[in-house]
A and B are shown apart, each in its own frame.
Chain A
Amino acid sequence: MAPKLPIYMDNAATTRCDPRVVEAMLPYFTEKYGNSSSRNHKFGWEAEEAVDLAREQAAALIGANAKEIIWTSGATEGNNLAIKGAAHMYAKAPEGQPGRGHIITAVHEHKAVLDPCKRLQREGFEVTFLEPKADGVITADMVKAAMRPDTILVSIMWANNEIGTINEVPEIGKLCHEREVIFHTDATQWVGKMPTDVERDHIDLLSWSGHKIYGPKGVGALYVRRRKPRVRLEAMIDGGGHERGMRSGTLNVTGIVGFGKACELCKAEMDRDGQRLLKLRRRMETELAKRIEVTQVNGHAEKRLPHICNISFGFVEGESLLMGIKDIACSSGSACTSASLEPSYVLKSLGVGDELAHSSLRLSLGRWTTDEEVDYAVEKITKAVLHLRTMSPLYDLHKEGIDISKIQWQTH
């Protein structure tokens, strides 16, 4: 059966809000619209009760205590609060003085981690940006080698948003705890898809977002460890002292209700969803590689999220490929698809050449991706790649046996 078009394969960008989540949220718009901080009437009480339940649901998904959940607007805010909040709290010297402290992160983190780290650099902190090998994985050994006596914070994402590669987070967490260094992980792509236990995995700070886990946009959570060690953060937003003073502002009750419900559903369905998506992703990658020569799956072969496929088709430029598959919603690491006109810095960091980044597609599957959609995508992508190769001068050179990397190109 032909699938309904267009097909959504951009679940790493955002997910459809689960109708069960929407249903849970609806009463909180028009009936139970109280402010959860209102202590003296029913409207406030029922809002607070809903927020408390959501806090339990969020905590249960990651093995935390409800008191350790701080509501945010999403993972960007969570990352900012965790990184800047911890750096400022644990700084070894006041602003304007040298030796404020050392932070470890990686070059292919999300911008919501890189940019706060760069700001801290300007404020006098020293930051090491680890570089992955071709498989994209950050290992505990890499972090260990970068550790210094003045290291105060390590921030390594659990799984990469572009290539789905999984870093050695539990091992890095253990190392950090041994050295008494605060460990933050941006778990936006991981939580809700893979089993998470902040105790077992030695996490101090963990940020995630509602809209990547079939919940609403504009709401997220930051886990802040309360014991062994008790992690403190300097707030970025001051005001009414909400969220243990770490994040003031009236709570987004409706969004939080949806976030909690989304967490509950993920916890219940993650095993089944994960196994199904892994099968689908493998089938997609195998079928594409079978039909199209010079195809490369980017990132680690095995240590990868079940739902993210990043694949490069040699001699074909990504944006023109997207034009050829316009009823499949997905993204590319090509420069032409980015606002900066730079190819994906994540793919570049793997050291596999800019050309591969220009030729890449990211297809990310989700809760509603069907077998038919995957089959359709395989056929459509194959057709588009083969068509574009008929007009690719690079493919001609390849067929003539000429190594493109050995040619002197006139760069602009």
Chain B
Amino acid sequence: MAYSDKVIEHYQNPRNVGSFGSSKDVQTRTDVGVGIVGAPECGDVMQLQIKVSPQGVIEDAKFKCFGCGSAIASSSLATEWIKGKTVDQALTIKNTQIVEELSLPPVKIHCSVLAEDSIRTAIEDWKRKNGVSTPAAQVAAH
């Protein structure tokens, strides 16, 4: 598999690797939203954690990833893109933008889908913890 330079760069220098605490800790923290998508038997698991201000701004983001180089690069890129955005702005990020930025080949598109899913899941988790409802239009979009 020939990777684009951007994928290799993210793989070698992944941004924002880490977490805001153990899986138990973050479960109860209302300022943190957690998204874990994928499955070990499918060969990729992405974990995205976002730290969100009461105003709904993503102040920090951390990822961990079990997956191929494209999966690591997609999640690394996702953390870069969502930092500083409001949750609603972050929800507008589409997997196709990740595909384009990283020049992912067709067989690796599912990595970008996982990254988009992890953003959505992490934001849903934060909203659930804080009693924020998701606009109906966005639910229908998925």
Contact = CB atoms under 8 A, between A and B. Distances in A.
Interface string A65-84: 00000000000000000000
Interface string B93-121: 00000000000000100100110000000
A412 B42 contact: yes
Contact of A391 (B22, B44, B64): B64
Contact of A393 (B11, B36, B69): B36
B66 A392 contact: yes
Contacts of A337: 1
A261 interface: no
B17 interface: yes
Interface in B64-104: 64-72
B40 A336 contact: no
Contacts, number: 94
Contacts of A355: 40-41
Interface string B8-25: 100100100101001110
B69 A323 contact: yes
Interface residues of A, number: 31
Contacts of B24: 400
Contacts of A334: 43, 68
Interface residues of B, number: 36
Interface in B20-65: 22-24, 36-47, 63-65
A400 B69 contact: no
Contacts of A168: none
Interface stretch (A1-9, A192-200, A229-237, A313-321): A313-321
Contacts of B69: 319-320, 323
Contacts of B110: 412
Contacts of A317: 43-44, 66-68, 71
A319 B22 contact: no
Nearest to A412: B42
Interface of A: 315-317, 319-320, 323, 334-337, 341, 343, 353-355, 358, 390-397, 400, 402, 404, 409-412
Given A320-B69, A336-B70, A409-B45, 13 more contacts: A319-B1, A320-B67, A320-B68, A323-B8, A336-B1, A336-B43, A358-B41, A394-B40, A396-B19, A396-B23, A404-B40, A409-B38, A411-B42
A-B pairs, 9 with minimum CB distance: A409-B39, A393-B47, A354-B41, A393-B64, A319-B68, A358-B43, A336-B68, A355-B40, A411-B39
